[in-house]
């Protein structure tokens, strides 16, 4: 099963329910599906095909999650990078993954600029939340495209996520997660979306960790509202639980 179907199925069952809440932005399942489809068409126009790698260095955001589902729909491999890694490690991960596109959060623009000359395969840079010179802006990119449905056939054994280890004893090592392994995990641990059940899940761990990657899939498959914190901080974590009436985290 392609994990992108998690979004398609839930959007048909609970279309008006809020899917993502992040920094004042509140998006329904239908809105997320539309934005993902726009991004899919943008990525296709940039030459992204099945099996190609798309890397991200950013804090958690709804843009980040949309990027995963767009990659899955294309059969592309999602490569979330550890923003706490050293400069040399980040350079290695981008080059080792053979990524052709790099999505960047504003917080990491200076870091990205410092390693940009060493990034061998990156053809396009897209910034989520700013408009720096030499990069495209995420919202401007997706606004150019219609939300036409695109769905590429994938094999269960195809990689959908490439995570890198922390590299405590050597350089980081890539760990491949397939469509099969993730879809089996999610569908066996979470009930599918239902109009009668509405849970609220909070994401505060980074998406570059397996706990973050599986959380975004579990929430969408379950038709939950996913409240996204950019990163873990104790007081905002507690305030958000109370304000959003979070049931899972």
Measured CA to CA, the distance from residue 249 to residue 113 in angstroms comes to 34
At residue 170, the pLDDT reads 78
The percent of residues above 70 in pLDDT, for the chain, comes to 99
Span 26-44, average pLDDT: 98
Q: How does pLDDT run across 190-238, given as a tens digit for each residue? A: 999 999 999 999 999 999 999 999 999 999 999 999 999 999 999 999 9
In contact, 156 and 1? CB cutoff 8 Å: yes
Span 178-191, average pLDDT: 97
Q: Find, among 84, 39, 109, the residue nearest to 209 by Cα.
A: 84
Kindly report whether the global pTM for this prediction surpasses the value 0.75. yes
Measured CA to CA, the distance from residue 17 to residue 209 in angstroms comes to 27
Residue with tokens 């969408």: 220
Q: What are the Cα distances from residue 34, in Å, to 69, 145, 212, 222?
A: 11, 10, 23, 19
Instruction: Please state whether 72 falls in left (phi above 0), alpha (psi between -120 and 50) or beta.
Output: alpha
Model confidence band, residue 167 (pLDDT cutoffs 50, 70, 90): low
Considering Cα of 143, then 148, then 149, then 155, what sign does the dihedral take? negative
Q: Find, among 10, 25, 3, 16, the residue nearest to 227 by Cα.
A: 25
Mean pLDDT of the chain: 96
Measured CA to CA, the distance from residue 44 to residue 141 in angstroms comes to 12
């Amino acid at each position: 099963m392609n994990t992108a179907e998690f979004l398609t199925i839930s959007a048909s069952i609970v279309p008006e329910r809020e899917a993502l809440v992040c920094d004042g932005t509140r998006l329904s399942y239908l809105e997320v599906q539309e934005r993902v489809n726009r991004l899919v068409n943008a990525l296709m126009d940039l030459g992204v095909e099945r099996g190609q790698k798309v890397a991200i260095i950013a804090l958690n955001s709804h843009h980040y999650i949309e990027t995963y589902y767009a990659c899955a729909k294309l059969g592309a491999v999602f490569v979330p990078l550890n923003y706490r890694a050293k400069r040399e490690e980040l350079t290695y991960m981008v080059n080792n993954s053979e990524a052709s596109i790099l999505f960047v959060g504003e917080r990491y623009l200076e870091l990205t600029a410092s390693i940009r000359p060493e990034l061998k395969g990156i053809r396009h840079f897209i910034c989520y939340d700013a408009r720096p010179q030499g990069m495209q802006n995420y919202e401007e990119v997706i606004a150019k495209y219609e939300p036409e449905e695109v769905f590429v056939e994938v094999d269960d054994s195809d990689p959908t996520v490439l995570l890198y280890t922390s590299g405590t004893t050597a350089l980081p090592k890539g760990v491949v997660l397939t469509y099969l392994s993730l879809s089996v995990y999610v569908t066996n641990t979470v009930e599918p979306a239902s109009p009668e059940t509405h849970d609220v899940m909070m994401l505060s761990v980074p998406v570059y960790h397996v706990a973050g990657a599986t959380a975004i899939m579990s929430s969408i498959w379950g038709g939950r509202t996913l409240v996204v914190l950019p990163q873990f901080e104790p007081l905002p974590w507690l305030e958000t639980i109370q304000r959003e009436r979070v049931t899972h985290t």
